[in-house]
């Protein structure tokens, strides 16, 4: 037993060294870092510096959309609230008309991140044009900008500038819109269907909701509605002008 004692003691010493090496250690300079950056993620957890949003899948009576932009701390949390310097600018959107900003940008005490929420406002102009809001972080008495960009496999994303592009337009037909049943897609036609039949616009992205029978029902109901409103128009009565194709001026066709 005594012959194995040196080996046993050596093992204890190694275990002690190993245990002490597990203690959390930070470089001295880490204590002095107090920086912020935009930390917003897209598909696959990839860092993004631009988001493109649209009102088209929001209910027709929805006039606002909140877009949270995450500001991340690099460094240690503080026991005090700390103000973050963010400037907001745009070449084609106006604050109060097209968007609303928070009253302040503050990293709460004890926290490592917060969302700076930009509220977008739905206007008629968004149906024909896209607008953009640009957010930019600046150094101040509380934070530096230790990291300004992040290199990724596919691209390099800014961590101090974040762009919000927004509209009330489609870039393509919704996933569940069947043109063999509902005809060629158009935004005007889509909005008429959602308004008349009280359908949630986002339902057209779910094939489990907009099934074949459901779309056939939609076609029959909307064609009947257009027929009734057309008869009113021809009789000189008040009618729903949304049944008219904005390009041709004729009643919309669902074939």
pLDDT tens across 17-63, in order? 344 344 444 444 556 789 999 999 998 899 999 999 999 999 888 99
The residue extents of the domains of the chain are: 28-167, 179-243
- CATH number, domain 28-167: 2.60.40.2030
Instruction: Give the pLDDT of residue 29.
Output: 56
- The H or E element that residue 140 is part of is none
pLDDT bin (cut points 50, 70, 90) of residue 4 is very low
* CA–CA separation, 119 and 98 (whole Å): 9
Mean pLDDT of 214-226: 96
Q: What is the pLDDT of residues 162-189, one digit of tens each?
A: 999 999 998 788 999 999 999 999 989 9
Q: At what angle do helices 187-197 and 212-234 cross, to 10 degrees?
A: 90
| 238 pLDDT higher than 60 | yes
* CA–CA separation, 209 and 217 (whole Å): 12
Measured CA to CA in angstroms, residue 137 lies from 103, 133, 145, 192, 220 at distances of 16, 14, 8, 42, 53
pLDDT bin (cut points 50, 70, 90) of residue 100 is very high
Mean pLDDT of 239-247: 93
- What 8-state DSSP symbol labels residue 247? T
């Amino acid at each position: 037993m005594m012959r194995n004692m040196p080996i046993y003691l050596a093992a204890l010493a190694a275990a002690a060294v190993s245990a002490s090496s597990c203690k959390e250690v930070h470089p001295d300079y880490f204590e002095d870092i107090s920086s912020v950056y935009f930390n917003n993620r897209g598909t696959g957890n990839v860092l993004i510096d631009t988001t493109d949003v649209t009102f088209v899948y929001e209910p027709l009576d929805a006039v606002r959309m909140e877009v949270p932009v995450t500001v991340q701390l690099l460094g240690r949390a503080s026991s005090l609230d700390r103000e973050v310097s963010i400037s907001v600018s745009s070449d084609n959107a106006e604050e109060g008309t097209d968007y609303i900003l928070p009253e302040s940008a503050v990293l709460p005490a004890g926290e490592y991140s917060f969302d700076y929420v930009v509220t977008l406002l739905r206007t008629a102009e968004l149906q024909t044009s896209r607008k953009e809001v640009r957010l930019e972080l600046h150094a101040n008495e509380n934070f530096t900008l230790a990291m300004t960009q992040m290199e990724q496999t596919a691209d390099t994303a800014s961590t101090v500038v974040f762009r919000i592009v927004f509209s009330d337009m489609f870039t393509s037909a919704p996933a569940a819109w069947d043109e063999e049943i509902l005809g060629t897609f158009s935004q005007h036609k889509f909005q008429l269907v959602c308004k008349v039949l009280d359908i949630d616009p986002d339902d057209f992205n779910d094939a489990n909701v907009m099934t074949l029978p459901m779309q056939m029902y939609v076609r029959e109901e909307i064609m009947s509605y257009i027929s009734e409103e057309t008869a009113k128009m021809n009789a000189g009565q008040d009618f729903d002008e949304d049944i008219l194709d904005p390009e041709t001026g004729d009643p919309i066709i669902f074939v």
